[in-house]
Structure 1
Amino acid sequence: MSTVKAAVFASGTGSNFQAIMDADQLSCEIVLLVCDKPGASVLEKAKRQNVPTFVFDPKLYSSKEAYEQELVQRLRNANVSWIFLAGYMRIAGPTFLRAFEGKIINIHPSLLPAFPGKDAIGQAFKAGAAVTGVTVHYIDEGIDTGPIIAQETVEVLETDTEATLKERIQQVEHELYPRVINQLILSK
């Protein structure tokens, strides 16, 4: 049986990318890291892991469709069949979604549908939520609106600051995401 090939998309520090790479037994091979922020620290993590990267600046393309066409071509060239978004801060467009329908998943630091979009942890903290958490979901054309695959709760403690809450949520993300990835791939 041939190994399932996957790509990770990230825009920032890459803590979830690192958690995926550090997973004891991953049911796929990460063959590409895609990053839309030249200079993002996730690129150094990919280099240390010997994972090839594709870095692009969306502003240098004539349209979203243009850069998504290049993304799709690069993913196909690498024989990628699954895509894991890990702190990738772009909304997927129709060109990308159609090419990998049902094979793009994302991790989000809240219990969706609560607190979608940017700064979910800050949103939950400022709203005084007693419980928040982590959601792994399929991507669709909306912002954090795709079908939910798995969720795990994180209690907001009275002693929490936004920083301590973020740290505890990331601990859950780093355990949940590789586990869900394995379950998805092994079930297909």
Structure 2
Amino acid sequence: MSERIAVLVSGSGTNLQALMDDPFIRPHLALVLSDRPGVRALDRAEAVGIPTVVLEPGSFPDRESFDQAILDLFLDRDIDALVSAGYLRVLGKRVLDVYEGRWLNVHPALLPAFPGMHGVRDALAYGVHVTGVTVHLVDEGVDSGPIVLQGTVEVRPDDDWDSLEPRIHELEHRLLPQAVRAMIEGRLRLDGRRVRIVEEGA
């Protein structure tokens, strides 16, 4: 069972808030890491007593030393699993090697369509009628890991980014806690690229 979770953030932290609001998940949140100082997510964590750390890539001579500092932090804090919740950095293999299969990311599109930082905007620009949210395991690619959960959101004819994004966020706030709960309980089963969420005790 994964018990101590670090949540990685870069912005306002609404997905972090959804995790903190879940009474089962909240005691497992051991650390919030940001690559940016002063973001709202840090305030949210500090308000409920979750330790926070800011590690900025620009403070390190290269990506390898940045990744190593993050890994050292996680190991020092006895972190069992990771959740990227709006974290806008791709960490390297040295972190993945330790947390593979225990690292979730939430993405605002139906992967494998529209990976990257602008999933909502790109879906709108393409003209899709349905988009959604994906929670997936992190691998070495960008938004390319095995899919844990997906949900759909209708794109209305008059939608723009301002009207669609809140509905995407609402779905993120439902799906991410479901996936994190299953990870904590040890209920994720990986078979090739297919992830199953099994019942407790299975």
Equivalent residue for 1:40? 39
How far the C-alpha of 1:25 sits from its partner, in A, is 2.3
Equivalent residue for 1:94? 93
Equivalent residue for 1:135? 134
* Aligned-partner SS, 1:187: coil
Equivalent residue for 1:171? 170
| Counterpart AA for 1:135 | T
Distance across 2 between alignment mates of 1:41 and 1:167: 17
1:34-82: CA deviations, max 9, x gaps?
Answer: 0001121211111112111110110110111111111111111211111
8 Å CA contact 1:7–1:30 kept in 2: the answer is yes
How far the C-alpha of 1:116 sits from its partner, in A, is 0.2
Distance across 2 between alignment mates of 1:45 and 1:81: 22
How many residue pairs are counted as aligned between the two chains?
A: 187
| Counterpart AA for 1:20 | L
CA change 1:115–1:48 in 2 (3 A) is same
| Counterpart AA for 1:17 | L
More divergent stretch after superposition (70-79 vs 141-150): 70-79
* Aligned-partner SS, 1:62: coil
Alignment of 1:66-145 (within 5 A): 66-145=65-144
CA RMSD of aligned residues (A): 1.5
How far the C-alpha of 1:160 sits from its partner, in A, is 1.9
How far the C-alpha of 1:159 sits from its partner, in A, is 3.0
Distance across 2 between alignment mates of 1:54 and 1:182: 24
8 Å CA contact 2:35–2:55 kept in 1: the answer is yes
Distance across 1 between alignment mates of 2:27 and 2:130: 32
TM-score, normalised by the number of residues in structure 2: 0.88
Equivalent residue for 1:60? 59
How far the C-alpha of 1:163 sits from its partner, in A, is 1.1
Percent of aligned positions that are identical: 37
Equivalent residue for 2:192? none
8 Å CA contact 1:33–1:54 kept in 2: the answer is yes
| Counterpart AA for 1:171 | E
TM-score, normalised by the number of residues in structure 1: 0.94
Distance across 2 between alignment mates of 1:115 and 1:171: 19
How far the C-alpha of 1:89 sits from its partner, in A, is 0.3
Distance across 1 between alignment mates of 2:83 and 2:24: 16
CA change 1:28–1:135 in 2 (3 A) is farther
8 Å CA contact 1:3–1:28 kept in 2: the answer is no
Equivalent residue for 1:146? 145
Q: Which runs of 5+ in 1 are unaligned?
A: none
More divergent stretch after superposition (25-34 vs 4-13): 25-34
Equivalent residue for 2:196? none
How far the C-alpha of 1:3 sits from its partner, in A, is 7.4
8 Å CA contact 1:133–1:152 kept in 2: the answer is yes
Distance across 2 between alignment mates of 1:38 and 1:60: 12
